[in-house]
């Protein structure tokens, strides 16, 4: 279903196993860069087949939205097995009502492009990568951004770029346009 790179394993406890006299049970802690607290709930939704309707991320706290995105990324290959990108010219609808910060934007965009639990970036660089293909959509495509005025208000954080400071909402529009996505604000 997904995988993480484990960089460190620490044995916390060793006890005789009930499965056999020559066996022991280990309790370990794992360090992995992308294994975020809160991801267990999302993995359980995926494992049990309940990651099957839009909006399951709407009520999540900010840290849990980040964990949601990490699972969306790590499970992407499993969830998209054998599926090609949507063909160029496709129209996607982004529901902006629940976009309250940058992570919720990526949750909503992933859902718009790849369905419930979908992934289409989790930072500006990843969004740019996704727009190059292989992540569910082929440019050029059209993105109908519903409730965009609400999103604009909530994505007003100023981002420092190499040559200027720009509101996050405007920067997202620029990245989408530069890669061939036509955005219709509604």
CB 147 within 8 A of CB 178: no
Distance from C-alpha of 5 to C-alpha of 63, rounded to nearest angstrom: 21
DSSP-assigned letter for residue 157:
-
C-alpha to C-alpha distance for 88 and 140, rounded to whole angstroms? 5
pTM comes to 0.85
The better pLDDT of the pair 7, 51 is held by: 51
Query: Is the pLDDT score of 1 beyond 90?
Result: no
Provide mean pLDDT across the span 114-122: 96
Q: Distances in Å between the alpha carbon of 24 and those of 8, 19, 20, 29, 37?
A: 20, 8, 8, 16, 27
Residue 13 pLDDT > 90: yes
Average pLDDT value for the chain: 93
pLDDT tens-digit series, residues 125-170 = 999 999 999 999 999 999 999 999 999 999 999 999 999 999 999 9
pLDDT tens, residue by residue, 59-112: 999 999 999 999 999 898 888 888 899 999 999 999 999 999 999 999 999 999
pLDDT category at 36 given cuts 50, 70, 90 is confident
Specify the pLDDT at position 78: 82
Three-state DSSP state, 47: helix
Q: Which of 27-36, 105-114, 168-177 has the lowest mean pLDDT?
A: 27-36
């Amino acid at each position: 279903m997904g995988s993480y790179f484990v960089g460190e394993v620490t044995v916390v406890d060793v006890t005789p196993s009930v499965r056999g006299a020559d066996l022991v049970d280990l309790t370990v802690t794992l360090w992995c860069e992308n294994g975020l607290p809160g991801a267990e709930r999302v993995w359980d939704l995926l494992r049990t087949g309940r990651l099957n309707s839009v909006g399951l991320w709407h009520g999540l706290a900010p840290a849990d939205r980040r964990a949601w995105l990490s699972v969306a990324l790590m499970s992407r290959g499993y969830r998209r097995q054998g599926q090609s990108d949507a063909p160029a010219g496709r129209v996607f609808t982004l529901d902006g009502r629940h976009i309250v910060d940058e992570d919720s934007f990526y949750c909503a965009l992933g859902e718009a492009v790849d369905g419930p639990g979908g992934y289409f970036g989790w930072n500006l660089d990843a969004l740019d990568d996704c727009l190059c293909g292989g992540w569910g959509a082929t440019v050029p495509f059209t993105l109908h951004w519903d409730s965009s005025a609400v999103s604009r208000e909530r994505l007003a954080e100023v981002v420092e770029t190499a040559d200027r400071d720009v509101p996050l909402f405007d920067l997202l529009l620029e990245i989408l346009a530069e890669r061939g996505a036509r955005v219709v604000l509604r």
